[in-house]
Chain A
Amino acid sequence: MANDKTNFQLVANGILAENPIFKLALSMCPAVGISTTVMNGVMLGIAVLFVQVFSSVTISLFKNVIHPRIRIPTYTLTIATWVTVIDLTLAAALPEAYAKMGIFVKIIVAFAIITMRLEMFACKEPVQASFWDGLGMGLGFLVGMVVIGFVRELLGSGAILGYDVLGFKPLLFFILPSAGFFVVGLMMAFFNYIEIAYKRSKGQK
């Protein structure tokens, strides 16, 4: 499956057409469990972005050497290595950020989106394309997490980024994981609706 998109199209693809959370429905665990505030979403999104880009590039570099039968353990190994490297580097270089992000970074190993992207794209496509695709997917994940976090934080604790906006807590229910399912489901529907409406308006032109 040769890739014929430009670099910009690859990035846009990751954010819109094949958004990991809303379209591909992958990595729902963090989307549901951790997106309780916008800041959490941002932190995790950035961490996933880094791991995705590095893993995509690494696998793409070694794609001719990986034996097809053991590609899954190899992906897991690559992702685990990069997560460890990023964890250690953050702890040493940016202790302030690490104090907030540290918990999230360790969870990334289990995300489906990264393994899936390596399988679908990185192991077949050249390095440059893999880099932009990884970037797009990471950004799509980040955008998704921020949007979900925004809704949940606003409706659950009446705040945005920790600043009390509403002055009261409308529905504490939104912070609990069960609400995450609701919010993600509704946002998926909303996302799809916007896409259909956009295509329709484009088709009519």
Chain B
Amino acid sequence: MKDIFTIIFRLTLSCVLAGTVMGTTFVLTNKAKKHNEHVKEERVAFSLLGFKGEVPESVTMETAYRYVLSRGGDQFIGYLMPRQESKEGGYRFLQLDLDGNLAEKYRVDITAEQAAGAKERDQSISAVLPQGVEMRFAEQFKIVFRDGVRSAYLISGKFPGFKTHIAVMMALDSDFSIIGFEVLEHEEDPGLGGEIEKPYFKNQFKGKSFEVVQDLEVVKSPIPEDYLKALEVDIPPEAVKKVMQQHRGDDIYALTGATISTVAVTEGLKGMIKKFAYRVNVLDSVIDNQQIAVSF
């Protein structure tokens, strides 16, 4: 009988000790881990757009944030967009209803650094919203300007993979064709689903136009020899361009032993692009109709 109490006591003590060790490690390492993730995302974003080191002068990037709002029983979509007139920054918060019409428009005077911090951003937005409006952050995306003209978008997304989820960052052209994508997080099997990180898979999506992507399927055949060489950039750049052009309309060739992972990525990217293109078009028409001065 006494044994039970000793057991319970010792086990509880071990759990508390283990918890303390794990908790301490977490607290010590979390900041560095977040910083690493942030740096990695920046690096990935730049490499996706094709900038090897320095970002050229003519290129600027703005970040826009999307929120889901609800007031009473009604739902709205809110966009925090950088204002155009003032060079010091400042944002406009556009509240759109589900039919794509502008419901409200607010001024949010914060800097880009302040907007980057989730808590500060949420607080400054709730400060301008009226009472009784609940808001939830949905996602953020970057708009790349070249000489002041919209040239690319950077979007992130997460979708279910074969094991758990796959998180990606994708660069889209201004007409929503794919510039490229990177896998940020995944837990697929190494050697099988893990091959989604390899160039011969990722580059298959490069350059595919919006129309091609909408009907994109996965086909279970081996990659043609010349296409494979172009995907792995084994041949000179002009030859790569020609071969990629030829295969632009091709479906995605499935990874050996990892069809489900291939399908997951294809469907995931398709969904991301579809939704994003729809939202951007709605946003564009609102901005055009209402003549709102935002950088977009």
Residue ranges of A at the interface with B (Cβ–Cβ < 8 Å): 33-34, 36-37, 40, 65-67, 69-70, 73-74, 77-78, 80-81, 84-85, 88-89, 91-93, 95, 103-104, 172, 175-176
- A-B CB contacts (within 8 Å), total count: 69
Chain A nearest CB, measured from B194 CB (Å): 8
Q: B33–A88 contact, CB under 8 A?
A: yes
Chain B, interface residues (CB within 8 Å), range: 20 to 34
Report whether B18 and A80 are in contact in the complex, using a CB–CB cutoff of 8 Å. yes
Question: Are A85 and B11 also in contact (CB < 8 A) when A40-B191, A91-B29 are?
Answer: no
Which of B10, B22, B30, B40 is within 8 Å of A81, CB to CB?
B22
Cβ contact within 8 Å between A70 and B22 = no
The secondary-structure label for the interface of chain B is helix
Given A36-B190, A84-B25, A89-B25, does the pair A73, B11 have CB atoms closer than 8 Å? yes
Bound form: Cα–Cα A160–B28 in Å: 37
Given contacts A37-B191, A67-B6, A92-B36, contact A81 B257 (CB under 8 A): no
Report whether A92 and B32 are in contact in the complex, using a CB–CB cutoff of 8 Å. yes
| A88 lies within 8 A of B7 (CB) | no
Also in contact, A69 and B3, with CB within 8 A (given A40-B190, A88-B33, A92-B33): yes
Q: Give the docked Cα–Cα distance between A95 and B7 (Å).
A: 40
Is A85 in contact with B22, judged by CB distance below 8 angstroms? Answer: yes
Alpha-carbon distance between A74 and B22 when the two chains are bound, in angstroms: 15
B interface list, Cβ under 8 A from A: 3, 6-7, 10-11, 14-15, 18, 21-22, 25-26, 28-30, 32-33, 36, 39-40, 187, 189-192, 194, 256-257
Contacts of B6 in A (CB 8 A): 67
Q: Is the CB of B26 within 8 A of A77?
A: no
Instruction: Determine the residue in chain A with the shortest Cβ distance to B191.
Output: A36
A119 → B minimal CB distance (Å):
16
A145 to B10 alpha-carbon distance, docked (Å): 37
Across the two chains, which residue of chain A brings its CB closest to B26?
Answer: A88
The residue from B7, B18, B25, B192 contacting A69, defined by CB atoms under 8 A apart: B7
Report the bound CA distance from A95 to B190 in whole Å: 18
**Do B14 and A77 touch across chains, with their CB atoms under 8 A apart?**
yes
Bound-state CA distance A176–B190 (Å) is: 11
B187 cross-chain contacts in A, Cβ below 8 A: 103
Chain A, Cβ-Cβ closest to B163: A103
Distance of A78 Cα from B18 Cα, bound (Å):
7
Min CB–CB distance B247 → chain A (angstroms):
22
Cβ–Cβ < 8 Å partners of B30 in chain A: 88, 92
What CA separation (Å) do A81 and B25 show in the bound complex? 10
Chain B residue with Cβ nearest A80: B18
A-B contact pairs, 6 of them (CB 8 A): A37-B191, A77-B18, A85-B21, A88-B29, A91-B36, A175-B256
Distance of A91 Cα from B194 Cα, bound (Å): 19
How far, in Å, is A40 (CB) from chain B's closest CB? 5
B25, A88: Cβ atoms under 8 Å? Answer: yes
Distance between B288 CB and nearest chain A CB, rounded to angstroms: 42
The 7 closest A-B pairs by CB, nearest first: A36-B191, A92-B29, A92-B32, A95-B36, A81-B18, A92-B33, A88-B29
